[in-house]
Amino acid sequence: MKYLIGLMIFMLAQIASAAECRVNGGEWVNPAGHGFNVYVEVAANTSLGKILLDGYTMDCRHGMPSSSSPYQHVVTYPEAVRLSPNYSSLEGGLSVNGSAYYPIPVRGGILLSVQRNEPYMSVPGRPYLNIATTPGSYIKIDSGTLIATITLGIRPFTFWGAEREISTIVNVFARNSLNLSPSTCTINNNNPLDVDFGPVDPVVVGETPHSSPNLKIVTLNYTCPSPGIFSGIEVSWRGTASSFNSSALATSNANLATTMTRGTSVVPVGGSFRTSISNSSGRDSVAFSLIRKPGSFPAGGPFTGSATLVLSAP
């Protein structure tokens, strides 16, 4: 009987060490004490209201003979998804097959895959982040940073009922950057800014913003639909730069352009300035100035120009 018990212990040890996993079709390795690093494209899915941290494959297999009636479960450990400290203020969880969403703290025992006599089975669990207002912050993910860690348990079985749970982790890194305003905060309620310089005397139009008498002060009001947001923000000015002044916005009159100034600093086209939102609101004043090409005498008649102000996380 002692020999039989010794033999059974040996067989169970072989069963317990049979599990192997791989990511992205790579080398099969024993997951016991072995973590996996994966890189994902980070993109917002506005229809779902989520950022799905997907874009990789993970497979596991038990490698046991069919004569032992084997099967293997891959399940979640308690608190299966942990966000890295950089993103711990965000909300999210675990997505399974793109249809079931388990919020943090993700419970243990969620069955992700079952392998019987198949060569291997894919493990479908993927972390996600919510695109919902998170008081105090925006969603800003930097390329190359660790976003989340998934902790999994692998349980091989045979007809003996043998089971030994093996734990492994999957570290999810960002392949790209994402800068997202999750709460749809707006500038002036998304209404167009109409800067009308009125009648302009070509003779007196200045050649620099600080020398131009054609100046309009505009107030930018930042508002968020949900209360409790305290965050730094960045306001970008996007448009086509003038051919004679790369910091100014081109207009339909080749000899005229418009600059934007905050305080004493010109914000160049394609540039930005930083400010903040306190309890879901904020305000800044900017000056738009009309300037002319040095040495030119602009032709008379109406002219137009257009640009976009974009609010984002810094």
Q: Where are the domains of the chain?
A: 2-180, 186-312
Distance of alpha carbon 260 from alpha carbon 210, whole angstroms: 11
Average pLDDT over the chain, rounded to an integer: 86
- Level-2 CATH architecture, domain 186-312: Sandwich (2.60)
Interval 144-176: pLDDT, tens: 999 999 999 998 887 666 667 889 999 999 999
Mean of pLDDT values over 271-291: 92
Burial class of residue 56 in the structure, from the number of CB atoms within 10 Å of its CB (0-12 exposed, 13-18 middle, 19+ buried): middle
Q: Is 91 helix (H, G, I), strand (E, B) or coil?
A: coil
What SS3 state is found at 73? Answer: strand
pTM reported for the whole predicted model? 0.61
Do 2-180 and 186-312 fold alike per CATH? yes
What percent of the chain clears pLDDT 90, i.e. is strictly above it? 53
Element (DSSP H or E) covering residue 211: none
User: What is the pLDDT at residue 87?
Assistant: 86
Q: Which CATH class is domain 2-180?
A: mainly beta
pLDDT over threshold 90, residue 313: no
Tally Cβ neighbours within 10 Å of residue 219. Answer: 10
